[in-house]
Amino acid sequence: MTVTLTQPAVGGPQLPQERRLVTEIPGPVSKRLAARKDGAVSSAVGTMLPVYVAAAGGGVVVDVDGNSLIDLGSGIAVTTVGNSNPRVAEAVAAQVAAFTHTCFMVTPYAGYVEVAETLNRLTPGDHDKRTALFNSGAEAVENAVKIARSHTGRQAVVAFDHGYHGRTNLTMALTAKSMPYKSGFGPFAPEVYRAPMSYPFRDSGSGIDGEAAARRAIDVIEKQVGAANLAAVMIEPIQGEGGFVVPAPGFLPALAAWCTGNGVVFVADEVQTGFARTGDLFACENEGVVPDLIVTAKGIAGGLPLAAVTGRAEMMNAPHAGGLGGTYGGNPLACAAALAVFDSIEADGLVDRARQIGTTMAERLTALQAADPRIGDVRGRGAMMAIELVQPGTTEPDAALTQRVAAAAHAQGLVVLVCGTWGNVLRFLPPLSIPDHLLVEAFNVLEQIFKQS
């Protein structure tokens, strides 16, 4: 069965920038596709909002029934420069016509080298750097651990409460939350330890500031792992899946300084926060933290699968020749897309745009919170904002309310995502190409939903 589209399948910013509902959500064509999915795709692969997409761009996702939804998710922080961004589309089309794959480990090509040079230049710190490219965030995280182990000759890795680093075996071990990411999938990779995170909303009242939270974590690390055994500390500068937890000021610098003092590799997992999302090119920059290794993916290539580890040359060069790689890592199409993304971030002023979007979202969410005591916390940075929903006056999570609000938002044409250890955080990650009027409309709709939920 083929699907007849009621919209032309051409995406990009030229799509009408409007919220338009012409059927219920999901519509009949999407429902037919969902039934086919049930018969064809593993039921373990879930879909949060089963509208099947025909085109996307600017700030909208258009489905196969002709509905146009406001995109506040960017495919989980991937299409930061916009879906089918014209620069990306053009660069990828040209690369497809030239060659699609040779394998960089067999016969290399310039795009890979140019992406590496650019990442070495753009990532925090002016030390000598090297980069290696991979396919997914999880794969890059695993390789960062391999590099840190090679460099230090040590094995242990520390990750944090609420952390998320992927779904492969080693990254499941690094990820905190059992359901749905880990449950039933063990045994997990050994020599992974967990330390307490700085979580200001849940630490409030305890007098634990950023430095105290770092001491709390370091104490656990020293007593339960021992610095002499520790290869790497792996942390998201702002946690993504764990609930957009922004650590208290001082936490990341104190941890990084402790790592430096103890010969431990400090790895920033910027898979979700990287590439202008937070109003800096990288979230670490906000406190002047310079990671030894930085892991990037998602926003790097406008939707094409690409990931990278970038870091100190002596660390990146520590594994033996041939120790890092993979058939598709740094695929030429993904590299062409990434180079176009880097151009777009600069030429379109996307770091500033993320800050503007952040200001608008923070204002709207703070106003919502003032009117609704179930919004316990408003947090995030730049175009990465969230609200944590709780029983009024407490930190008791309200996952049921979160689900109700998300479902109502979906029904009214907003693509919003839920996250958080307790499933009680609504997160907002619009593409930076979203026009202001759609952002305003989205939060007007959300305001009404809170009044009615």
291 binds ligand PMP (CB under 6 A): no
CA–CA distances in Å: residue 295 to residues 238, 270, 280, 334, 449: 13, 6, 16, 16, 37
Q: Binder to ligand PMP among 158, 297, 368, 426 (CB under 6 A)?
A: 297
165 binds ligand PMP (CB under 6 A): yes
User: Phi, psi (5° rounding) for residue 238?
Assistant: -130, 125
Nearer to ligand PMP, 104 or 164 (CB): 164
CA distance 49 to 51: 6
Of 98-137, binders to ligand PMP (CB under 6 A) are: 136-137
Residue among 440, 312, 412, 335 at smallest CA distance from 99: 335
Nearer to ligand PMP, 163 or 210 (CB): 163
Q: Please list the alpha-helical segments (H only) found in 372-426.
A: 399-411
CA distance 367 to 437: 18
What is the H or E stretch that residue 132 is in? strand 129-134
Nearer to ligand PMP, 162 or 364 (CB): 162
Provide the minimum distance between the beta carbon of 272 and ligand PMP in the complex, in angstroms, as a whole number: 4
Provide the minimum distance between the beta carbon of 164 and ligand PMP in the complex, in angstroms, as a whole number: 5
Provide the minimum distance between the beta carbon of 167 and ligand PMP in the complex, in angstroms, as a whole number: 7
Q: Binder to ligand PMP among 142, 241, 388, 398 (CB under 6 A)?
A: 241
Taking CB under 6 A as the binding criterion, the range among 46-54, 160-168, 182-190, 203-211 that sits at the site for ligand PMP is 160-168
Nearer to ligand PMP, 30 or 123 (CB): 123
Provide the minimum distance between the beta carbon of 170 and ligand PMP in the complex, in angstroms, as a whole number: 12
What is the total count of residues that contact ligand PMP (CB under 6 A)? 15
269 binds ligand PMP (CB under 6 A): yes
Taking CB under 6 A as the binding criterion, the range among 258-266, 267-275, 338-346, 382-390 that sits at the site for ligand PMP is 267-275
- CA within 13 Å, CB half, 37: 14
236 binds ligand PMP (CB under 6 A): yes
Provide the minimum distance between the beta carbon of 199 and ligand PMP in the complex, in angstroms, as a whole number: 16
63 binds ligand PMP (CB under 6 A): no
Q: Taken in order 386, 392, 396, 401, is the CA torsion positive or negative? A: negative
CB 217 within 8 A of CB 227: no
Q: Binder to ligand PMP among 59, 166, 210, 431 (CB under 6 A)?
A: 166
Q: With 0-12 CB in 10 A as exposed, 13-18 as middle and 19+ as buried, what is 97?
A: exposed
Nearer to ligand PMP, 15 or 72 (CB): 72
Taking CB under 6 A as the binding criterion, the range among 42-50, 266-274, 323-331, 367-375 that sits at the site for ligand PMP is 266-274
Strand partners, 312: 129
Q: Kind of pairing, strands 156-160 and 192-195? A: parallel
74 binds ligand PMP (CB under 6 A): no
Q: Binder to ligand PMP among 213, 235, 254, 271 (CB under 6 A)?
A: 271
User: Phi, psi (5° rounding) for residue 309?
Assistant: -120, 125
141 binds ligand PMP (CB under 6 A): yes
Q: Give the burial string for 429-445 (b: 16+ CB within 10 Å, else e).
A: bbbbbbeeebbebbbeb
164 binds ligand PMP (CB under 6 A): yes
Strand partners, 268: 235, 294
Q: With 0-12 CB in 10 A as exposed, 13-18 as middle and 19+ as buried, what is 189?
A: middle
What is the H or E stretch that residue 56 is in? strand 53-57
240 binds ligand PMP (CB under 6 A): yes
Provide the minimum distance between the beta carbon of 175 and ligand PMP in the complex, in angstroms, as a whole number: 8
Nearer to ligand PMP, 240 or 376 (CB): 240
Provide the minimum distance between the beta carbon of 97 and ligand PMP in the complex, in angstroms, as a whole number: 27
Taking CB under 6 A as the binding criterion, the range among 45-53, 268-276, 348-356, 398-406 that sits at the site for ligand PMP is 268-276
Provide the minimum distance between the beta carbon of 136 and ligand PMP in the complex, in angstroms, as a whole number: 4
198 binds ligand PMP (CB under 6 A): no
Provide the minimum distance between the beta carbon of 165 and ligand PMP in the complex, in angstroms, as a whole number: 5
CB 219 within 8 A of CB 258: no
Say whether the peptide bond before residue 26 is cis (omega within 30 degrees of 0).
yes
383 binds ligand PMP (CB under 6 A): no
Tokens of 282: 């990288």
Strand partners, 295: 269, 309
Nearer to ligand PMP, 15 or 383 (CB): 383
Helix (H, G, I), strand (E, B) or coil at 265: strand
| Apex 123 CA angle, 122 and 127, nearest 5 | 100
Q: How far is CA 342 from the centre of its chain?
A: 17
By CB under 6 A, name the binding residues for ligand PMP. 76, 136-138, 141, 164-166, 236, 240-241, 269, 271-272, 297
